Amino acid sequence: MHRGIMNDAPTPSPRYDFRAAEPRWQAEWDKRACFAVPDVPPPGARKYYVLEMFPYPSGKIHMGHVRNYTLGDVVARYKRARGHLVMHPMGWDAFGLPAENAARERGVHPAQWTYANIANMRDELKRMGLSLEWAREFATCDPEYYGQQQHLFLDFWKAGLVERKESWVNWDPVDGTVLANEQVIDGRGWRSGALVEKKKLSQWFLAITKFAPDLLDALGRLDRWPDRVKLMQSNWIGRSEGARVRFALAEPAADMAEIEVFTTRPDTLFGMSFLAVAAEHPLAAAAAAANAQAAEFVAECRRMGTSEAAIEQAEKKGFDTGFRVKHPFTGAEYPVWIANFVLMEYGTGAIFGCPAHDQRDLDFARKYGLSVTPVVLPHGADAASFHVADTAYTEDGTAFNSGFLDGLPVAQAKRAAIDALEKQGSGTGVVNWRLRDWGVSRQRYWGCPIPVIHCDACGAVPVPVDQLPVRLPEDVDFSKPGNPLDHHPTWKHVDCPSCGKPARRETDTCDTFVDSSWYFARFCSPRAEVPVTREAVDAWLPVDQYIGGIEHAILHLLYSRFFSRAMKATGHLAVDEPFAGLFTQGMVQHESYKGADGRWLYPEEVEFATAADGTRSATVKGTDEAVTIGRVEAMSKSKRNTVDPGAIIAKYGADTARWFILSDNPPERDMEWTESGVAGAYRFTQRIFRMVEAALPALPPPGTAPEAEGRALRRATHRTIAAVTEALETFAFNVAVARLYEFANAIEAAKDAPGGARREALEMLARLAAPMMPHLAEEAWSLLRPGDATLVAQLPWPDADPALLVAETVTLAVQVLGKLRATIEVPVGASEETIFAAAEAEENVQRALGGKPIRKRIHVPGRVVNLVV
């Protein structure tokens, strides 16, 4: 049995003392203001704006942050070396529920909790050696920030981009609060356990749907965004063409004479078997008013939760209202049901059911014994025998059983149906969007107050701009349920700015997604007394490279795209698209561990052993208690499979943490954090230092020209420059790391190379590694160039010498019928005849050919020869 490496401290007295070196170089960068840029770049400057998604100040940085900010820092340092003026700011997404939870649970004020967390996390980030410009830092909970956000809200309002309307929320009747979907567990409030109800509240909305067509179209121009993010956004916006169809009620219900439905399949109207409305639909209300059972069904639907997943996964249920509608083409009557799978928010909140060609409708029809009439005949099927059993037919085909549509393919039948509806005035062709307006009202304390005053005489009145910011009151009481702003004794009581009579402040605050929808613009002029200054945003936006988690692929990015359009419409910005380039990183994962009694254990509580056959086992440190090694999964506090970056940096240094996190795998994929991987990265930092230190005495002075006899090593050097450059340009940071490992191996193998070439190689090793391990790079550079006043952080990126990239000979794979049989070494530029002759001369090739005549010879220069017999 061998002890695992995880619990061993690194060498007690390493030759490279990162504990002294890292703070020293951080101070040096700071002193020389290496990362500061002006709000307005000088003429001719090539600006580059690198931004990582700013963190929520939970208290400590986690490995996801380390990964995110390391990726951004590599880009920032690389682009700076490429001669760009790089803006790389940092701030805090500081409003949100956790601060209120802390207040309720521990009695600490949200502001105090938040700012203390920020102070701690700022220190942790600084220890990572990130090339950030801290002068631009702000938190979204600073009144200077949220006051400007209120200014934007009022400008949007003036521009017609803010509306007040009603919408449904999850309501916890015991806590008296609105719940997030994730706070609804099995239909009950997470804290109170009370059955959650849907409730209608009057709320503020940002009119994102006004930009829906442009938000969709512009995706096509975001050529540096991942395709999958664009696809997710496209699906979210959800443009669909179809028809609105009005169905006359056989007898009026309440004050309604007809029901309007939206459908993407007007071609299947003849296959109708019922009409269904959402539980929130006015007709459902009418049915509920008249019938206790209907009321009970509507109430049941209201307990289902508001999330789309919950609604669609629930068993299909319905209630026949007894109302009937007339078919617009045939006049036949069909029943109107209330159905739990119809969404009030989408379309008109009502559908017509065609079970033969929609799976949900079919499930519903089978459950309640409703008719199923196929009206689309699959190509090649027989009209007399075709029928639908348990699977709806949703593919293309030809209309049948459909009156005047018979014989038309689906697309044409849709047009013909819409034409007929329009002609008889019972419907129109429309484009429908899945995207809904953005409800920003939150019944919470720790958010940006919505700058509105409600007056009985004047209605909703904007707070005058010169009275901004509307500050959060500090003396708030979290002991009562509900929104502290609402039951604060004085805060909401103000006079109407319009008529001067007593009025009430809006006590809702903004969704925190609003805060993060324009912070990237605020960074350009973070202290301005307007939301943004035009010179600064015009110079710096868009963000050239934005980096963050895929979990933000839809909402945050879409809201930010909306905000830049809205800010453009209100004269604050000139750009539509905030992020020209986007990179989405994967999660950081770790093994999970369980003790004998099933409790989760932190990695540092576990001790490992490896048996002779290589299998690992684990025990609780200092005991014999067996530990079950569980799955590798996303780090989470509940499973305790977390690793504290602070502890890692203290033990191994920032460069090691950065190097490992970059080396493990491609940054867009989920990575596994392993102790052995970190230890390996640490060994490599020490190895580089040793290599440089050991080589120093024999190196010629700085500036010595590399010798001609050093060509082999020089070729390795310049191939590495080219390869690392290419890798950094394409976000293949794990490949850049691999090339540097290979290069370090090559330098060690070339101990006999002349000094000038060795000096060049070692200097390049330091410079090429600098974006990834900036401290060690400075340390190595200072040893190689004693007295040199320039830091690596200030050096331009090296260029590879093209003359040294060209090979003299190439190795070609020789295949017979696509199978590798030999390799041959030929001079670059050898003629095809020579190459084929050499290939065919190989003994192994001859054997594989087996005397058969060669039918075809394929030569891919520099790669392969394939002989076909």
Partner RNA sequence: GCCCGCCUGGCGGAAUGGCAGACGCAGCGGACUUAAAAUCCGCAGGCCGCAAGGUCAUGGGGGUUCGAGUCCCCCGGCGGGCACCA
The SS3 of residue 723 is helix
Decide whether 256 or 735 has the Cβ nearer to RNA.
Answer: 735
Least distance in Å: CB of 380 to RNA?
17
Of 122-130, 373-381, 570-578, 608-616, the window that binds RNA (rule: CB under 7 A) is 608-616
Binder to RNA among 402, 426, 512, 570 (CB under 7 A)?
Answer: 512
Decide whether 228 or 493 has the Cβ nearer to RNA.
Answer: 228
Confirm or reject binding of residue 516 to RNA (CB under 7 A). Answer: yes
Residue 354 makes CB contacts below 8 A (sequence gap 6+) with 265, 268, 269, 271, 272, 273, 361, 375
518 and 143 in contact (C-beta within 8 Å)?
A: no
Confirm or reject binding of residue 848 to RNA (CB under 7 A). Answer: yes
Q: Which residues pair with 163 in a beta bridge?
A: 205
Least distance in Å: CB of 655 to RNA?
15
Confirm or reject binding of residue 96 to RNA (CB under 7 A). Answer: yes
What mask, x for binding RNA by CB under 7 A, covers residues 238 to 277?
x---------------------------------------
Least distance in Å: CB of 555 to RNA?
5
728 and 82 in contact (C-beta within 8 Å)?
A: no
How long is the chain? 869
Distance of CA 700 to the CA centre of its chain: 50
Q: List the one residue out of 671, 695, 805, 814 whose CA is nearest residue 752.
A: 695
Least distance in Å: CB of 738 to RNA?
3
Least distance in Å: CB of 758 to RNA?
16
Confirm or reject binding of residue 379 to RNA (CB under 7 A). Answer: no
Least distance in Å: CB of 728 to RNA?
13
Hey, what are 642's tokens? Answer: 């977390």
Q: Residue 788, Cβ neighbours under 10 Å: how many?
A: 13
Report the C-alpha gap between 778 and 419 in whole angstroms.
73
The CB-based long-range contact list for 787-795 (8 Å cut-off, 24+ gap) reads: 788/702, 791/25, 791/28, 791/29, 791/32, 791/34, 792/766, 792/767, 793/29, 793/34, 793/77, 793/80, 793/131, 794/32, 794/34, 795/81, 795/767
Confirm or reject binding of residue 359 to RNA (CB under 7 A). Answer: yes
Least distance in Å: CB of 723 to RNA?
10
Report the C-alpha gap between 245 and 855 in whole angstroms.
67
The SS3 of residue 62 is coil
Confirm or reject binding of residue 5 to RNA (CB under 7 A). Answer: yes
Least distance in Å: CB of 641 to RNA?
13
Confirm or reject binding of residue 159 to RNA (CB under 7 A). Answer: no
What mask, x for binding RNA by CB under 7 A, covers residues 567 to 606?
----------------------------------------
- The dihedrals phi and psi of 630, each to the nearest 5 degrees, come to -95, -165
Per CB under 7 A, which of residues 30..59 are in contact with RNA?
A: 56
Q: What is the DSSP annotation of 682-712?
A: HHHHHHHHHHHHHHGGGPPPTTPPPPGGGHH
Decide whether 145 or 247 has the Cβ nearer to RNA.
Answer: 145
Q: Which residues pair with 750 in a beta bridge?
A: none
Least distance in Å: CB of 55 to RNA?
7
Of 44-52, 472-480, 488-496, 736-744, the window that binds RNA (rule: CB under 7 A) is 736-744
> How large is the greatest C-alpha to C-alpha distance in the chain, in angstroms?
105
Distance set, CA 226 to CA 175, 353, 397, 546, 553 (Å): 42, 37, 35, 12, 10
Binder to RNA among 185, 530, 741, 841 (CB under 7 A)?
Answer: 741
651 and 10 in contact (C-beta within 8 Å)?
A: yes
Least distance in Å: CB of 1 to RNA?
9
The SS3 of residue 418 is helix
Per CB under 7 A, which of residues 543..572 are in contact with RNA?
A: 550-552, 554-556
Per CB under 7 A, which of residues 219..238 are in contact with RNA?
A: 227-228, 231-232, 235-236, 238
Confirm or reject binding of residue 97 to RNA (CB under 7 A). Answer: yes
Least distance in Å: CB of 822 to RNA?
8
Per CB under 7 A, which of residues 169..198 are in contact with RNA?
A: 169-170, 178-183
Residue 787 makes CB contacts below 8 A (sequence gap 6+) with none
Confirm or reject binding of residue 358 to RNA (CB under 7 A). Answer: no
Residues near RNA (CB under 7 A), total: 103
342 and 351 in contact (C-beta within 8 Å)?
A: yes
Decide whether 64 or 706 has the Cβ nearer to RNA.
Answer: 64
The SS3 of residue 216 is helix
The SS3 of residue 634 is strand
Confirm or reject binding of residue 467 to RNA (CB under 7 A). Answer: no
Residue with tokens 């200014």: 151
Distance set, CA 268 to CA 365, 383, 472 (Å): 15, 15, 55
What mask, x for binding RNA by CB under 7 A, covers residues 795 to 824?
----------------x-x-x-xxxxx-x-
Per CB under 7 A, which of residues 313..342 are in contact with RNA?
A: 313
Per CB under 7 A, which of residues 427..456 are in contact with RNA?
A: 434-436, 438-439, 441-443
Residue 529 DSSP label? S
Least distance in Å: CB of 737 to RNA?
7
Of 93-101, 291-299, 563-571, 713-721, the window that binds RNA (rule: CB under 7 A) is 93-101
Least distance in Å: CB of 160 to RNA?
19
401 and 374 in contact (C-beta within 8 Å)?
A: yes
Per CB under 7 A, which of residues 630..659 are in contact with RNA?
A: 634
Residue 104 DSSP label? H
- The dihedrals phi and psi of 592, each to the nearest 5 degrees, come to -115, 155
Report the C-alpha gap between 644 and 661 in whole angstroms.
14
Per CB under 7 A, which of residues 272..311 are in contact with RNA?
A: 306-309
What mask, x for binding RNA by CB under 7 A, covers residues 667 to 686?
--xxxx-x-xx-xx--xx-x
Least distance in Å: CB of 204 to RNA?
10
Confirm or reject binding of residue 202 to RNA (CB under 7 A). Answer: no
Residue 668 makes CB contacts below 8 A (sequence gap 6+) with 226, 583, 584, 585, 586, 731
Confirm or reject binding of residue 716 to RNA (CB under 7 A). Answer: no
Q: Which residues pair with 333 in a beta bridge?
A: 326
Decide whether 96 or 318 has the Cβ nearer to RNA.
Answer: 96
